[in-house]
């Protein structure tokens, strides 16, 4: 059972800004009401400009959280777009490898890059939620489906299975103080959707935000990102992908179908689709480009026998489940439409 949560800002330093102070206070109170001690790591609240200028301080916080005997769970504050800049500070002297242990690690979005870092040093991690995006949700409480999975993780240290949410929510566009307690527009959801292939398949799940994966290969956003990712061999080898299930979800930037296609093409050229056992696809934020993404997936993969399951409640669309990486999973869309995980 988790007693102390260590909060880290590994990407954008948003939680250190005054404009989200009311959200941070709300999220902290909620964690404390769940019986948790909240520990912001030394640089987590230093703000956007400071942490953008000091990736080494973000790396120090991650190492410190792993080494801190009081911290049971490392919770990422939020995503961003440049956590790749931590690579030299975590890998040049095996700093990350020396520090890691079996503490819970939870984050999503640009944290995809951190998940690949942890995978590289052989550590299981959890994908799907963050402090600011989920715990600090400005509704009267954490969204019920989201809270269910977070509660399971902090009380058991595991996620046993995921099943579809009955509803989905439109994204919040106003985060001002006067929005506290306001509910999000809600719609009925239609469950996980088998787009193609067999209804049951298995393997360890790995992946994350397709925008971040695109940036590993493409230097449009940061010219040095593909260079650093290649130098440190961040993206798993084709052999490492063998038998795995690829998780893909799209960011709040809502990439165009053309960019989505380009990202998938990088994965295809790398050989990922030749060796994996299936693909899980997160519901797009506000369901934008949902039909287009499905069509692009089928066209680029061009293998009708590779299972693709869409509309998973993971990533940037609300609500969010939590998916473990590095744990054997069985996807079964034939009956209860669930994903079960087998823990050793």
- Read off the pLDDT of residues 120-130 as tens digits, 9 standing for 90 and up: 999 999 999 99
What's the rounded Cα separation, in Å, for the pair 64 and 60? Answer: 6
Cα dist from 309 to 63, 206, 314, whole Å? 36, 15, 12
Tell me the CATH number at 30.
3.40.50.10740
Asked which of 96, 128, 159 is the last residue of a domain, the reply is 159
Phi, psi of 107 (to 5 degrees): 180, 170
Residues 32 and 111 reside in one and the same domain? yes
Asked which of 129, 159, 189 is the last residue of a domain, the reply is 159
Q: Are 241 and 276 in contact (CB under 8 A)?
A: yes
Q: What digits encode the pLDDT tens for the residues 70-79? A: 999 999 999 9
Tell me the CATH number at 320.
3.50.30.60
Q: What digits encode the pLDDT tens for the residues 15-42? A: 999 999 999 999 999 999 999 999 999 9
Q: Is residue 335 predicted with pLDDT exceeding 80?
A: no
Total domains in the chain come to 2
Q: Residue 101: pLDDT band by 50, 70, 90 thresholds? A: very high
Residues 188 and 125 reside in one and the same domain? no
Structure-derived torsion over alpha carbons of residues 191, 81, 108, 282, reported in degrees to the nearest 10: 10
Q: What digits encode the pLDDT tens for the residues 139-180? A: 999 999 999 999 999 999 999 999 999 999 999 999 999 999
What's the rounded Cα separation, in Å, for the pair 173 and 162? Answer: 28
Residues 12 and 149 reside in one and the same domain? yes
What's the rounded Cα separation, in Å, for the pair 330 and 137? Answer: 31
Specify which residues 167 forms β-bridges with: 188
Residues 193 and 329 reside in one and the same domain? yes
Q: Are 142 and 115 in contact (CB under 8 A)?
A: no
Q: What is the mean pLDDT of residues 213-227?
A: 98
Residues 38 and 178 reside in one and the same domain? no
Q: What is the mean pLDDT of residues 203-229?
A: 98
Helix residue ranges per DSSP H, 278-319: 290-301
Specify which residues 4 forms β-bridges with: 37
Q: Is residue 344 predicted with pLDDT exceeding 80?
A: no
What's the rounded Cα separation, in Å, for the pair 261 and 273? Answer: 14
Residues 236 and 308 reside in one and the same domain? yes
Residues 16 and 134 reside in one and the same domain? yes
Residues 136 and 63 reside in one and the same domain? yes
Share of the chain above pLDDT 70, in %: 99
Q: What is the mean pLDDT of residues 43-55?
A: 98
Residues 257 and 331 reside in one and the same domain? yes
Whole-structure pTM value: 0.97
Residues 141 and 57 reside in one and the same domain? yes
Q: What is the pLDDT of residue 338?
A: 84
Q: What is the mean pLDDT of residues 95-107?
A: 98
Question: Token pair of 70, please?
Answer: 């009081």
Q: What is the pLDDT of residue 59?
A: 98
Domain of 253 in residue numbering reads as 167-342
Q: What is the pLDDT of residue 334?
A: 83
Residues 96 and 190 reside in one and the same domain? no
Asked which of 123, 138, 159 is the last residue of a domain, the reply is 159
CB atoms within 10 A of CB 342: 11
Q: What is the mean pLDDT of residues 218-228?
A: 98
Q: Residue 245: pLDDT band by 50, 70, 90 thresholds? A: very high
Q: What is the mean pLDDT of residues 312-330?
A: 96
Q: What is the pLDDT of residue 339?
A: 83
Residues 216 and 129 reside in one and the same domain? no
Q: Residue 336: pLDDT band by 50, 70, 90 thresholds? A: low
């Amino acid at each position: 059972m988790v007693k102390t949560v260590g909060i880290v800002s590994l990407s954008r330093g948003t939680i250190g800004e005054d404009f989200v102070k009311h959200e941070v206070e709300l999220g902290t109170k909620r964690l404390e009401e769940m019986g948790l001690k909240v520990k912001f790591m030394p640089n987590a609240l230093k703000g956007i400009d400071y942490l953008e200028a000091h990736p080494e301080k973000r790396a120090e916080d991650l190492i410190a959280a792993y080494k801190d005997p009081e911290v049971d769970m490392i919770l990422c504050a939020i995503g961003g777009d440049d956590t790749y800049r931590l690579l030299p500070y975590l890998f040049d002297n095996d700093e990350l490898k020396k520090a890691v242990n079996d503490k819970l690690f939870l984050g999503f979005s640009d944290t995809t890059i951190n998940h690949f870092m942890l995978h590289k040093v052989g550590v299981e991690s959890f994908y799907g939620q963050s402090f600011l995006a989920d715990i600090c949700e400005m509704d009267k409480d954490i969204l019920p489906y989201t809270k269910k999975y977070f509660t399971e993780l902090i009380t058991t240290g595991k996620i046993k299975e995921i099943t579809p949410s009955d509803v989905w929510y439109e994204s919040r566009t106003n985060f001002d103080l006067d929005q506290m307690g306001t509910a999000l527009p809600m719609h009925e959801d239609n469950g996980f959707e088998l787009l193609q292939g067999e209804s049951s398949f298995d393997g360890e799940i790995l992946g994350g935000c397709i925008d971040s994966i695109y940036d590993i290969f493409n230097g449009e956003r940061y010219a040095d990102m593909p260079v650093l990712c290649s130098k440190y061999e961040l993206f798993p080898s084709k052999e490492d992908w063998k038998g795995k299930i690829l998780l893909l979800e799209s960011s709040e930037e809502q990439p165009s179908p053309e960019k989505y296609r380009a990202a998938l093409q990088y994965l295809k050229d790398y050989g990922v689709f030749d060796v994996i056992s299936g693909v899980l696809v997160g519901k797009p934020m506000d369901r934008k480009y949902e039909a287009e993404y499905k069509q692009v997936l089928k066209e680029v993969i061009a293998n009708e026998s590779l299972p693709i399951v869409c509309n998973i409640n993971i990533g940037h669309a609300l609500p969010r489940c939590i998916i473990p990486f590095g744990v054997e999973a069985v996807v079964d869309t034939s009956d209860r439409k669930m994903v079960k995980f087998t823990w050793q």
